[in-house]
Amino acid sequence: MMEGTSLCLPVVVLLLHCSPSVPVTVSTTKSKVEVEEFSDAVLSCLFHTEKDPFPRIEWKKTGKDVSFVFFNGQFRGSFEDRASIAGATVTLHKVTQEDAGEYRCEISASLDTVSLGETNVTLKVLVPPHTPFCEIPTSAVTGSGVQLRCRDQQSVPPATYSWFKDSRRISVPHHANATYLINSHTGILEFKSVTKEDSGRYSCLASNGVGSPKMCEGKHMTIEDVNVTAVVAVVMVVCLLVVVCGCGGVLLHRNGFLTRHRGRSFWISQCHGAAHISSQTLHRTEDTSNVNYIPPPQEPQDFKHTQSFML
Ligand SMILES: *[C@@H]1O[C@H](CO)[C@@H](O)[C@H](O)[C@H]1NC(C)=O
Ligand SMILES: *[C@@H]1O[C@H](CO)[C@@H](O)[C@H](O)[C@H]1NC(C)=O
């Protein structure tokens, strides 16, 4: 029926005469459409009918749920005011990721013998990279393993990542004994064991061939021989323990408590209690000056301490 088949035309005509049931034919010039987001997407649908000059044209978005795109001469849903049709070919304007998916053009020519025909078009909406989210620790201890992460969830197709240190690109190592690894697909830069030379300003670039690549803001990572924060925290905790237990010990000693008592386990249970508990106990012992004194269980809280007292 096209020019290319002119040689076969007599045969086709003959066939037409023998059996008039030539189905409505529907086709597309492009079954896979890829466009960048916020641009126009043309979903082509060509049809040829036997004799029905005005077949019914319908477009549906298929997939998990089927919804109408073009039905009864009108665009439906979110396409109502951002789509146009020429013949059966539809143009969607300003497409977003939401519009990506499978579409089906259905032609029904009720006057034709075989009245239904359809064609499918897949729309892929490409999304350029957004500024990636970068996880870069501000400090790490020499010799420790460190991971730097870079991620851009939205880009279509998924972005690949490259890392920069002090604005210079870090090459992906190819030898097995490199001190670091870069996975350009997951965006992870991993140091097996950091050294002071690894200190620097790190940043990461996400690209996917759509639009321009995007870089996250660089962050400084400092490698220290000791973890200063942890050391300060440990020192403070130790000081606190010394002060709390030391005070308790001195007071107990002054009351002749430690020598008279079996000592050690009592001493430990006192240390486990907070400062106010030991001082409470001390007040009581001061009052009675009796080792075997058991405070009356006023509150359940107190009762518990009495238990350890007896150990
Ligand atoms: C279009 O896709 C549907 C599934 O969604 C399938 O059943 C149908 O056969 C396809 N039609 C064509 C012409 O490929
Ligand atoms: C890797 O190790 C081999 C031998 O163990 C050594 O010759 C080579 O220089 C090392 N490469 C790097 C980059 O350290």
Could you read off the pLDDT of 127-155 as tens digits, one per residue? 999 999 999 999 999 999 999 999 999 99
7 belongs to a structural domain: no
User: Measured from the CB, is residue 28 less than 6 Å from ligand 1?
Assistant: no
Return the pLDDT at 139.
92
Final residue of a structural domain among 200, 224, 248: 224
Mean pLDDT of 222-249: 80
Give the tens place of pLDDT for each residue, 46-100.
Answer: 999 888 888 999 999 998 889 999 999 999 999 999 999 999 999 999 999 999 9
Residues 280, 257 share a domain: yes
Alpha-carbon gap, residue 75 to 82, rounded angstroms: 9
- Lowest-confidence segment of 6-15, 93-102, 192-201 by average pLDDT: 6-15
- Give the residue numbers spanning the domain of 30: 22-126
Mean pLDDT of 293-310: 47
Residues 105, 80 share a domain: yes
Q: Is the pLDDT of residue 110 over 90?
A: no
Confidence of residue 5 (pLDDT cuts 50, 70, 90): very low
Instruction: For residue 285, report the phi and psi dihedrals to the nearest 5 degrees.
Output: -65, -35
Dihedral of alpha carbons 171, 174, 177, 183, sign: positive
Alpha-carbon gap, residue 303 to 163, rounded angstroms: 60
Residues 213, 122 share a domain: no
Residues 278, 183 share a domain: no
Residues 46, 121 share a domain: yes
Among residues 79, 56, 57, 55, which one has the least CA distance to residue 67?
79
> Which of the listed residues 171, 172, 174, 175 should we mutate to test ligand 2's pocket, taking the one with most ligand atoms within 8 A of CB?
175
Instruction: For residue 40, report the phi and psi dihedrals to the nearest 5 degrees.
Output: -95, 145
For the entire predicted model, the pTM comes to 0.61
Ligand positioned closest to the Cα atom of 173: 2
| Beta-carbon contacts of residue 174 (< 8 Å; ≥ 6 apart) | none
Residues 108, 28 share a domain: yes
Residues 254, 170 share a domain: no
Give the tens place of pLDDT for each residue, 158-186.
Answer: 999 999 999 999 998 888 788 899 999 99
- Residues 173, 203, 167, CA angle at the centre, nearest 5°? 80
Residues 208, 243 share a domain: no
Final residue of a structural domain among 171, 191, 224: 224
Alpha-carbon gap, residue 271 to 305, rounded angstroms: 12
Instruction: Find the Cα–Cα–Cα–Cα dihedral 13, 19, 20, 21, rounded to 10°.
Output: -120
14 belongs to a structural domain: no
Closest ligand 1 atom, residue 120 Cα? 1
- Lowest-confidence segment of 21-25, 125-129, 154-158, 292-296 by average pLDDT: 292-296
66 belongs to a structural domain: yes
Q: Which residue has the tokens 């075997």?
A: 292
Residues 92, 39 share a domain: yes
47 belongs to a structural domain: yes
Instruction: Find the Cα–Cα–Cα–Cα dihedral 287, 290, 296, 298, rounded to 10°.
Output: 40
311 belongs to a structural domain: no
309 belongs to a structural domain: no
Omega prior to 297 cis, within 30 of 0: no
Return the pLDDT at 230.
73
Residues 164, 111 share a domain: no
β-pairing, 101-108 vs 67-71, is unpaired
Cα(62) to centroid(ligand 1), Å: 10
Residues 281, 216 share a domain: no
Closest ligand 1 atom, residue 118 Cα? 13
Quote the DSSP letter at residue 52. Answer: -
- Domain with residue 116: its CATH number is 2.60.40.10
- Lowest-confidence segment of 115-129, 144-158, 288-302 by average pLDDT: 288-302
Residues 158, 118 share a domain: no
Final residue of a structural domain among 175, 193, 224: 224
> Which of the listed residues 25, 58, 59, 118 should we mutate to test ligand 1's pocket, taking the one with most ligand atoms within 8 A of CB?
118
245 belongs to a structural domain: yes
61 belongs to a structural domain: yes
Cα(69) to centroid(ligand 2), Å: 61
Domains of the chain: total: 3
